[in-house]
Amino acid sequence: MSGTTFTNARIVCPDGGDRAGTLSVRDGVIAADAGGETIDLKGKLLAPAIVDLGVFAVDKAAFARGGIARVGLMPDQSPVLDDPGIIQRAAAMGKPDLWVHPIAAATRGLAGADIAEMALAADAGAKAVATGREWIADSGVMRKVLAYAADCGMIVISHAEDGGLAADAVATEGETATRLGLPAAPALAEVLAVARDVMLAEEMGARLHLRQVTTAAGLDLVRRAKARGVRVTCGITPPHLYLTDIDISDYRTFTRLSPPLRCESDRQAAREALADGTIDVLCSGHDPRGPEEKRLPFADSLPGSAGAETLLALGLGLVRDELISLDRLFALLARNPARILGLETGALTPGSPADLVVVDADAPWKIDAEQMAASAGNTPFDGLPVQGRVLQLWKGGARLR
């Protein structure tokens, strides 16, 4: 493979900081020097390509537009990712343009009852196991999941929402839900789930990743667990950093999410947790829903949004708000999710795969649901002006965009 040298770049690396300089690629990896083609970036950002942890659909065009080279695919597929053959097919479905890293079902059929064959899933290429969109209600089963996963050297990705409290809820309890007459669950549903799963992970010495934590109390539990050495990490998606339950006031189903949007104090707590390092991953939660699933009464619509194309621009907004630094953003988007999945990527260190994104951080555009590349454009940010466009995307030294 011929070499490529990027010159006049603003290089952003989670491990190396933010600097002006030159980066070389040879044989698909970052090298000390390369020769071959030279690309003058004229001051544009050069950073690790995004590793999007926890997507529900493979949308190659949307991922390319969003600067995403690798995805951790949740097991909620048809069929469920609970069989070695299915997992192997999922891993191959995006290549060579996209690397799909399957996350296997923690229980058979995601039913929350019988433990899945995690060792076979790992041999088939699964990088983690997950509870999917739902919480495992049976604490005995969850304890076994954590123990088995620890024996297999795998991390457990959990949906932190007590199903007994959140069963038919579509909103968070509060003034907005009451005024709209929507079935709602208390924010405590998340807190109880976080508390139980963290305590079980601590007991079993297992690795636990809470895919989304969105409440002040839940984040405080994670913060304190980390302080005492529990092997727990957590993530969040942009809607819970930018929006609140007030944004569902017009019954717009694009704001029907799981977990539901929270109150303003929880949003502020989430932003603080992002800044202080409690939150480890910023992910898209990419879960596009078509008109047949969204053009319904709010309570009848399905949760989910198309987040892949807007993830980077909304993340750059957090940098402009001086909430996080630019290198911290790419730790949240690339290095940390890569480490959670056990992937040797996410940073611009010599010998690392040349998974790269070139970004014009100042390029203005407006999010338009009708113009999105995703299979469905249901975004709660429709019409929002943002800045930051992906100019180039490289995977293993090969240019994809």
- What pLDDT is attached to residue 133? 96
pLDDT in tens, 119-143: 999 999 999 999 999 999 999 999 9
- What pLDDT is attached to residue 35? 72
pLDDT at 158 over 80: yes
- Block residue for tokens 């910023």: 282
Topology of the domain comprising 50-346+364-380: TIM Barrel (3.20.20)
pLDDT at 373 over 80: yes
Q: What is the strand order of the sheet 68-73 is part of?
A: 50-55, 68-73, 99-105, 128-130, 156-158, 208-210, 232-236, 281-282
- What pLDDT is attached to residue 1? 53
- What pLDDT is attached to residue 379? 97
d(CA 212, CA 35): 43
pLDDT in tens, 74-125: 999 999 999 999 999 999 998 888 999 999 999 999 999 999 999 999 999 9
φ, ψ for residue 73, nearest 5 deg: -90, 120
- What pLDDT is attached to residue 96? 87
Query: Across all residues in the chain, what is the average pLDDT?
Result: 96
pLDDT band at 33 (very low <50, low <70, confident <90, very high): confident
Contacts of 259 (CB under 8 A, 6+ apart): 160, 161, 166, 172, 190, 212, 214, 240
pLDDT in tens, 174-220: 999 999 999 999 999 999 999 999 999 999 999 999 999 999 999 99
Burial environment of residue 202 by CB neighbours within 10 A (0 to 12, 13 to 18, 19 or more): middle
Residue 212 and residue 235 in contact, taking contact as beta carbons nearer than 8 Å:
yes
pLDDT in tens, 296-332: 999 999 999 999 999 999 999 999 999 999 999 999 9
Q: If you write DSSP's letter for every residue of 210-247 in order, what string do you get?
A: ES---SHHHHHHHHHHHHTT--EEEEE-THHHH--GGG
